Amino acid sequence: MREFSGILRGGGEAIHGVLPCSFQGFFNISCLSKVLDLPPENLIKSISAVPVSKKRRVADFQLSIASVTEDNSSDCLAPDLHLQAQKLAERLKCDAVVSEISAGPGTVNFTINRELLAKTVLRQVLKDGSEYGVKSELFSTVPKQKALIEFSSPNIAKKFHIGHLRSTIVGNFIANLKVALGHEVIRMNYLGDWGMQFGLLGVGFQLFGNKEKLKTSPLQHLFEVYVQVNKAAEDENTKKLAKDFFRKLEEHDEQTLSLWKQFRDFSIDEYIRIYKRLGVHFDEYSGESFYQEKSKEVLNMLENKGLLQKTIKGTGIVDLSEKKDLSSFSTVMRSDGTSLYITRDLAAAIDRMNKHNCDTMIYVVSKSQSNHFQHLFQILKLMGYDWVERCQHVSFGLVQGMKTRRGEVIFLEDVLNEVRSRMLQNMASTKTTKEIEDPMETAEKVGLAALIIQDFQGLLSSDYQFSWDRALQSRGDTGVFLQYTHARLHSLEQMHGNEQLTDINVACLQEPDAISVLQHLLRYDEVLYRSSQDLQPKHIVSYLLTLSHLAAVAHKTLPVKGSAPELAQARLCLFQAARSVLANGMKLLGITPVTQM
Ligand code: ARG
């Protein structure tokens, strides 16, 4: 049997110059790699914390044989894997850090010395604060990137539909996550601020508009004007006026442009205010209008590269088929020579890349536009822009049935007001509101958490049926439950003092319910890693829900109040660590943790 001693860190003290398995630093990977005769990179990805489930788990970490011996894993039979696990386990010996090593079906299982587990995890969580998990070895091979993330992107004077809301919260999450992991992020809002509808809107405003209303509530007013003028547009005269208005806009007629600019500027001001309620901001408000001129250049480029074909009707198309038989194509120019949505997107993509020189460009847009983005990327590729390989359309499914009491959702603000008032009502019925300093604000934050968790629970690509009742339940897997747990843990700290707890006696944290929380805290970096790989928030959501459940159980069985000082202090420290990780995760998802509710 080969010696295991020296493979692990002694007494929780860091040995410099060796790779820890992950942030927890229990394993000395370079030694482990020698003893097991396996490449260290494989080991880092193959050792993971064992997920905590209802059943108590046997070990803290496991080494997956299938993933460590990646290349031949597929033809390895299960009994073989078990045998391999046994053989590897035999080479290792327990020491001061690892108190137990066993072989399972395809895994080598490690149990960490109980006191060391508590000490190391708590120390790390409290020391790293908001950076806990982020400094993990798992991220060491991931290069830091500059990412441009385009999200929300509503259309001026039109409805802000649920798709825009989904794009807003998903994009915000991706941006938050990337920033937390040390990447540079540009948050961009690409407004629908150009097109024939602005001709109609311009005429509508001349007929039904009101400058005062435009200033005070631009989104609502422009929408109303747009609806009104659409009814009026049945008659030929209005149609003609609209065409004229848009033509003038395209010709940059000063007066026309100035009115359009007011529509845009006032709308953006109001959006900024509403996004703020959601905790969302943008670095850049771009829009289709910017690319009106540049679209012409794109058409020229397509022409020069021999990619632009004219149909009999005079429209411009790009052949996207492999056999060049037009079995698949994209229309990029109207017969009158003007640009289309996709032409503007082509110009926008090229411009963004030139301007920001980013490593990756992400579009967070509903899956109903998958075809559009496929075409966009295909054309960019044909044009010779290899960076298109680094562009990604993050799509999401349809949400059905989101209605407010007033009816259909038209504005983002409707949703925010609705969730706030519903939450306020729920809070009033539980009679706790009286003690809350700002019930409106608390209701809003809790309500938003509910919306976000309901939305992020499944795969983004799946459609779901929206339900206010389900989202706002205080028990079960909801955002309300996360907020409630956070608030309770916070008030526990308030009640018992939350000074930096350093010298706690970890021997006091040996109950199974305490160990479960600690074991779960071990996994946070892996969960962040998964979400960073597939950009799906659900991994973090289910992690936080489990953390809240475990913390709630521990809160019941491990009282702080009335316990001996040493015990109380150790427990307090455990709860503080749980709350800190809970808060970190919630913030990544775009939720502001509340301290009372
Ligand atoms: N404004 C568009 C819409 O509401 C979404 C824009 C998506 N982004 C883009 N680059 N095409 O449908």
Q: Is the CB of 343 under 6 A from ligand 1?
A: no
Q: Is the CB of 192 under 6 A from ligand 1?
A: yes
Residue 303 CA: distances (Å) to CA of 166, 292, 385 = 37, 17, 16
Q: Which residues of 200-211 are buried (b: 16+ CB within 10 A; e: fewer)?
A: bbbbbbeeebee
CATH superfamily of 432-589: Isoleucyl-tRNA Synthetase; Domain 1 (1.10.730.10)
Q: Is the CB of 25 under 6 A from ligand 1?
A: no
Q: Give me the DSSP letters along 388-445.
A: GGGEEEE----EE--EETTEE--SHHHHHHHHHHHHHHHHHHTT-GGG-S-HHHHHHH
25, HSE (Cβ side, Cα atoms, 13 Å): 22
Q: Give me the DSSP letters along 259-311.
A: HHHHHHHHHHHHHHHHHHHHT---SEEEEGGGGHHHHHHHHHHHHHTT-EEE-
Helix (H) or strand (E) holding 385: none
Separation CA 19–CA 44 (nearest Å):
9
Q: Quick one: which atom of ligand 1 is closest to the CA of 164?
A: 4
Beta-strand runs (E) in 141-263? 146-150, 184-191
3-state secondary structure 48-60: EECCCCCCCCCCC
Residues 180/586, Cβ–Cβ less than 8 Å: no
Count of residues for the chain? 597
Q: Is the CB of 190 under 6 A from ligand 1?
A: yes
Encoding tokens for residue 511? 């109950």
**Catalytic residue positions, numbered:** 158, 161, 164
130, HSE (Cβ side, Cα atoms, 13 Å): 9
Q: Which residues of 483-521 are buried (b: 16+ CB within 10 A; e: fewer)?
A: bbbbbbbbebbeebeeeebeebebebbeeebbbbbbbbb
- Please name the residue whose Cα sits nearest to atom 1 of ligand 1: 192
Alpha-carbon torsion, ordered 529, 534, 539, 540, to 10 deg:
60
Amino acid type, 155: N
Q: Quick one: which atom of ligand 1 is closest to the CA of 155?
A: 1
Residues 446/481, Cβ–Cβ less than 8 Å: no
How many helices and strands (H and E) does the chain possess? 22, 16
Question: Which residue do the tokens 């033509």 mark?
Answer: 247
* β-bridge partners, 61: 49, 110
Rounded to the nearest angstrom, the gap between the alpha carbon of residue 344 and the centroid of all alpha carbons in its chain is 27
Q: Is the CB of 444 under 6 A from ligand 1?
A: no
Encoding tokens for residue 355? 């301007």
Amino acid type, 220: Q
- List, as own/partner pairs, every contact residues 403-406 make where C-beta atoms lie below 8 angstroms and the sequence separation is at least 24, other chains included: none
What does the DSSP 8-state code read for residue 132? T
Distance 535 CA to ligand 1 centre (A): 20
Domain boundary assignment for the chain: 10-112, 432-589
- Please name the residue whose Cα sits nearest to atom 4 of ligand 1: 154
pLDDT value of position 77: 60
Q: Which of 350, 369, 376, 380 to mutate to test the pocket of ligand 1 (most atoms within 8 A of CB)?
A: 369
Q: Is the CB of 363 under 6 A from ligand 1?
A: yes
Distance 384 CA to ligand 1 centre (A): 24
Q: Is the CB of 165 under 6 A from ligand 1?
A: no
Question: Which residue do the tokens 């990780």 mark?
Answer: 581
Separation CA 352–CA 30 (nearest Å):
43
Separation CA 264–CA 266 (nearest Å):
6
Distance 153 CA to ligand 1 centre (A): 6
Q: Which of 149, 166, 190 to mutate to test the pocket of ligand 1 (most atoms within 8 A of CB)?
A: 190
- Please name the residue whose Cα sits nearest to atom 11 of ligand 1: 345
pLDDT along the chain (597 residues), means of 10: 34 31 60 78 81 73 81 57 86 83 89 90 91 87 95 94 95 98 98 92 95 95 94 86 91 94 96 96 96 93 97 96 95 91 97 97 98 98 98 96 84 93 90 75 96 97 92 93 97 80 86 94 94 97 97 96 93 96 98 95
Q: Is the CB of 150 under 6 A from ligand 1?
A: yes
Residue 398 backbone phi and psi in degrees, to 5: -85, 145
The ipTM assigned to this model is 0.99
Separation CA 422–CA 408 (nearest Å):
16
Residue 31 CB contacts under 8 Å (≥ 6 apart), including other chains: 6, 7, 18
Burial class of residue 275, CB neighbours in 10 A (0-12, 13-18, 19+):
middle
197, HSE (Cβ side, Cα atoms, 13 Å): 19
Helix (H) or strand (E) holding 140: none
Q: Could you confirm whether domain 10-112 is CATH 3.30.1360.70?
A: yes
Residue 305 backbone phi and psi in degrees, to 5: -85, 0
